Amino acid sequence: MRKFGLVGKSLEHSWSKGYFEQKFIRENIADCVYRNFSLENLDGFRGLIVHDGSIAGLNITIPYKVEIIHYLDSLDPDAAAIGAVNCVKISRRWDRLLLKGYNTDMKAFRETLRPLLNENCRKALVLGSGGASRAVCHALKELNLNVTIVARVRQMGSMTYSDLNKEIIAGHEVIINATPVGMFPGVNDLLPLPWQYLTKDHLLFDLVYNPEETAFLSKGREAGARTENGMEMLHRQAELSWRVWNSSRFQVPGSRF
């Protein structure tokens, strides 16, 4: 029996386990299970894998998408460029345990967003600066959008929420929530945006999928904006992760990265 799972700190919000359980039933995959691994920190991450030889692949969620890199042996080029990992492939060869990090969030987000864009979508505000934000920014640049990050604490090249005004909101047609704000159970939580400046010309994308319509998306809908939640992205990244875990390619890295 091969075991896959999700590693994070608090996992009650996640539907990944349910997605894979339904996938295994739907596709008659009888030799696999998917489990949640809630960890207070990553100190025991490699020990978890060492002591359970049936674990063949893991997804990584908040708040560990960046920190997990320090516990891996190598990175896929996309993950290295992004600086965040949400998928780990586990290879065991004789006495060697090798953990390689991938980022399936980026491609999943890119392909979910692509058909929603039109000729007016040239600039994007990305709310948040964590691991999910890094994947989003990478994808937006591949789609030729100019990206501005908005964070609670000022960083080089980013804005804070207090910087946002009518001109900035009007000049960024795409606004993406790459934070967990509004996610279950804090479904009424909102980021401090000047919501009154949203219009029908905006596209709001929330990586959160639980609840289906977050307070962020509700504000967009009320303004007449187009909205999209993270459910399709979740499905896409799950299928990309499955492809990674079942790839037969194996390389012995000469160094950690």
Torsion of CA 160, 164, 170, 175, to 10 degrees: 40
Closest CA to 71 of 82, 81, 58: 58
Cβ neighbours for 225, distance < 8 A, ≥ 6 positions apart = 198, 199, 200, 201, 202, 203, 204
Sign of CA dihedral 161, 106, 118, 203: negative
65 included as an active-site residue = yes
Sign of CA dihedral 61, 65, 67, 73: positive
Count the neighbouring beta carbons within 10 Å of the beta carbon of residue 200: 9
Phi and psi torsions of 115, nearest 5°: -70, -10
- Which are the catalytic amino acids? 65
